[in-house]
Amino acid sequence: MSNAQDIKTRLWEMANKLRGTMDASEYKNYILPFMFYRYLSENQHRYLLDNHLKDFYNVIDKEEREEYLEECSKGIGYAIAPEYTWDKIVSKIETHKIKASDFQDMFDSFNMNARRNPIAESDFADVFSDVNLGDTRLGSNTNERAKALNDIVLMINEFNFKDESGHDILGDVYEYLIGEFAASAGKKGGEFYTPHEVSQILARLVTINVKKIDDQFRVYDPTMGSGSLLLTVQKELPNGNEMGSVEFFGQELNTTTYNLARMNLMMHGVNYRNMELRRANTLDTDWPFAEKEGIQIPRKFDAVVANPPYSQNWDIKNVDREKDTRFKGFGVAPASKADYAFVLHGLYHLEKTGTMAIVLPHGVLFRGASEGKIRKNIINENLLDAVIGLPANLFYGTSIPTCILVFKGREARGNRKDILFIDASKQFEKGKNQNKLTEDNIEKIINTYKNRIDEDKYAHVATLEEIKENDYNLNIPRYVDTFEEEEIIPLPEIAKELKELDADITKSTNDLFELLNELTGTTEEAKIELKEFINILKEK
C-alpha cells in the first residue's frame, strides 16, 4: 500500500509522460474511462463473490451464460462478460495475445449488456462513447495505437488504490486527475471542473444547518460538469457517506462531461439507484419532474448548487418563455445573458426549507433592464439571503472576479428581511496560473455567513430599506466599504527621487556610450566587461 498523495502524484506523472503531445483535455478521455472500467470489473467481481456466483467466469453453456449476465445486470446495473474482465485484458496484454480490435469489442460488449436493465440503462449505456480508439494522436497506425492503449491499461493496473488503512481511494484519485487535467487544459478546463475550494464553499453554504440526515437529502446541480460539486455536498453532510442517504440529480449539456460525471459519482460509491443524471440543455425545457396521473410535478430539492457558464446566449425565440412556469412572476432573462435563467430554474426546484448557492459574474448584481426587474422581484419575494464577492482568477475558464448568490426557500428565510454582503475578493493566495483560496479564507467566509454581523471592510448586513434606497442595485462596494487610504508621500520627496533617478539613468547611458567607444575589438575580455555592465543596467 502507498500514501494516497503518492499514488496521485505518481499516476499523474506517468499519465503526463504517456500522453506525449496529446492535449490534456483529450487525453483524459482515455485514462479516466479505463480507470472506470477497472472499477466496474472489480465491483462486479466482488458482487459475484458475495452472492456465490463466481462460477460465471467458467460458464461455457450459452443459456447459462445469459442467465448470469441477466443476474449481474439486475444486481449492479451492468454486466461484463468473462472474456472482457479487467484481469483478462491485462493478462492478454502481458502475454502479448491482445489484438487492436479487442478494445473495441470490449466496449461494444459492455454497451450491449448495459441495456439489459432498463432502470440502469441511462447510467451505464454509452458511458465509454468518448474513447476514440482510432484517434491518430494515439499513434499513426493500428499497432502504435494499440501499444498506447496497452500502456494506459498497464499503468492503471500498476496501482493498488488503497491507502495505508486499506480505505478505497480510487474515487479520490479519479477526482484528483480530473482537477489536474482541468488545470492542464487551461480555459477548456473550466467547462468541466469547478475548483475544489469554490466547491467547498458552495457545499458548506447549502449544508450549514443540517445536523443529521433523517430520511434522504436531495441535491441538484443543473450544470453539473464532472459532478465534483455534487460529491462535495455529500462530503459536507454529517452522515452523507451512509449508503442511500443522499439522492443526486444533475444535468449537463456536453456529452463528454456528462460521461465524466456518471463515472465520477459511481467511482465514489454512489449507487446508480441513488442518482439521476441527464444529458440535456437545462434552459430548453424544465427538468427534473415526477409524473403523477399524467401531470408533471417539479421535483424539489434540499440543496441546489451551480457554477453555470457565465452570461451565455440562450434561445428565447422559439419558446414562449412568458408561459414557462419557472420564470412566471419574475421575468425572462435577456437572450444575450442567461444568468438569471439559471437562477430562476434553480429557485423553481428549491424546497421551501432548502438553500441554493450559485456562482455568477458580478454583472448580475447591477445590470438593469429585464435583469434589474428580475433582481427586484427576487428581493421583494424575500428569497435572496447573501451576496459573497470572490477573488479574480479563481477559475480555469475565466479570470474575471465572480460572486456567490445564496438563496433560501420561504420557510428557511422565515421572518428575516435582510441580505448579508461579504467582500472576500482581496483574501486569497496568489498562484502561478490561478489564485487559490486557503482554508483560512474559506473558514472566514463560512463563519461570517454563520455569524451574520457587520465586519469592518469585509461584511455588512443590509436592510431591505438600504437595498431599496440603492434601487435594488447589489453591487458589493455600495454596502461594504473596502477603501484603503494610500500612504501620502510629500511632493518634494517625489521630486527628489525623480531627479536622482533621472541623473542615474543619464550617467548609465553616458557610461555605456563611453564603453562602446573604447571597445575596438571583440576580445573575450571586452565581451565579459560589456555583459557585466548590461547586468548592472538591468538591476537599476
What nine digits make up the cell of 84?
472482457
Length of the chain: 540
Q: Among 164-168, 336-340, 375-379, 436-440, whose mean pLDDT is lowest?
A: 164-168
* pLDDT score recorded for residue 303: 98
* pLDDT score recorded for residue 322: 62
* pLDDT score recorded for residue 260: 92
Residues 360 and 333 reside in one and the same domain:
yes
Residues 204 and 182 reside in one and the same domain:
no
Residues 307 and 378 reside in one and the same domain:
yes
> Which residue, of 166, 187, 208, is where some domain finishes?
187
Dihedrals φ, ψ of 61, to 5°?
-60, 130
The sheet carrying 402-408 orders its strands as: 275-279, 246-252, 217-221, 301-306, 350-361, 402-408, 384-389, 419-423, 459-462
CATH number where 134 lies: 1.20.1260.30
Which residues are within 8 A (CB) of 460 and not within 5 positions of it... i.e. 6 or more apart?
420, 421, 454, 479, 480
What nine digits make up the cell of 104?
473495441
Residues 77 and 39 reside in one and the same domain:
yes
Residue type (1 letter), 403? C
Residues 326 and 295 reside in one and the same domain:
yes
Residues 30 and 117 reside in one and the same domain:
yes
Q: Among 117-121, 309-313, 323-327, whose mean pLDDT is lowest?
A: 323-327
CATH number where 292 lies: 3.40.50.150
Give the span between the Cα atoms of 393 and 400, in whole angstroms: 6
Q: Evaluate whether residue 484 is within a structural domain.
A: no
* DSSP single-letter state for residue 214: S
**How would DSSP label each residue in 44-88?**
HHHHHHHTT-GGGGG---HHHHHHHHHHHHHHHS----GGGSHHH
Q: Evaluate whether residue 179 is within a structural domain.
A: yes
Residues 183 and 196 reside in one and the same domain:
no
Name the helix (H) or strand (E) containing 275.
strand 275-279
* CA nearest to 403, candidates 468, 357, 459, 448: 357
Condensed to tens digits (0 to 9), the pLDDT of residues 171-216 reads 888 888 888 888 887 666 666 788 899 999 999 999 999 988 888 9
Q: Evaluate whether residue 260 is within a structural domain.
A: yes
**How many domains does the chain fold into?**
3
Give the span between the Cα atoms of 101 and 317, in whole angstroms: 47
Q: Evaluate whether residue 485 is within a structural domain.
A: no
Condensed to tens digits (0 to 9), the pLDDT of residues 326-344 reads 999 999 999 999 999 999 9
Give the span between the Cα atoms of 228 and 240, in whole angstroms: 15
CA atoms within 13 Å, Cβ hemisphere of 448: 25
Beta bridge partners of 250: 221, 277
Residues 246 and 342 reside in one and the same domain:
yes
Residues 201 and 286 reside in one and the same domain:
yes
Residues 179 and 215 reside in one and the same domain:
no
**168: containing domain:** 4-187
Q: Evaluate whether residue 234 is within a structural domain.
A: yes
Q: Evaluate whether residue 497 is within a structural domain.
A: yes
Beta bridge partners of 461: 420
Residue 140 has pLDDT above 70, yes or no: yes
Give the span between the Cα atoms of 452 and 421, in whole angstroms: 9
Q: Evaluate whether residue 419 is within a structural domain.
A: yes
* DSSP single-letter state for residue 517: H
* pLDDT score recorded for residue 26: 84
Contact between 72 and 41 under an 8 Å Cβ cutoff? The reply is: no
> Which residue, of 431, 456, 478, is where some domain finishes?
478
Residues 219 and 366 reside in one and the same domain:
yes
* Contacts made by residues 149-153, CB under 8 angstroms, sequence distance 24+: 149/30, 149/34, 149/103, 150/93, 150/98, 151/18, 152/18, 152/30, 152/31, 152/34, 153/34, 153/89, 153/90, 153/93
Contact between 275 and 123 under an 8 Å Cβ cutoff? The reply is: yes
Residues 223 and 369 reside in one and the same domain:
yes
What nine digits make up the cell of 528?
565579459
Q: Evaluate whether residue 483 is within a structural domain.
A: no
**How would DSSP label each residue in 101-168?**
HHHHHHHHHHHHHTTS-TTTHHHHTTTTTT--TT-TTT-SSHHHHHHHHHHHHHHHHT---B-TT--B
Condensed to tens digits (0 to 9), the pLDDT of residues 128-137 reads 998 999 988 8
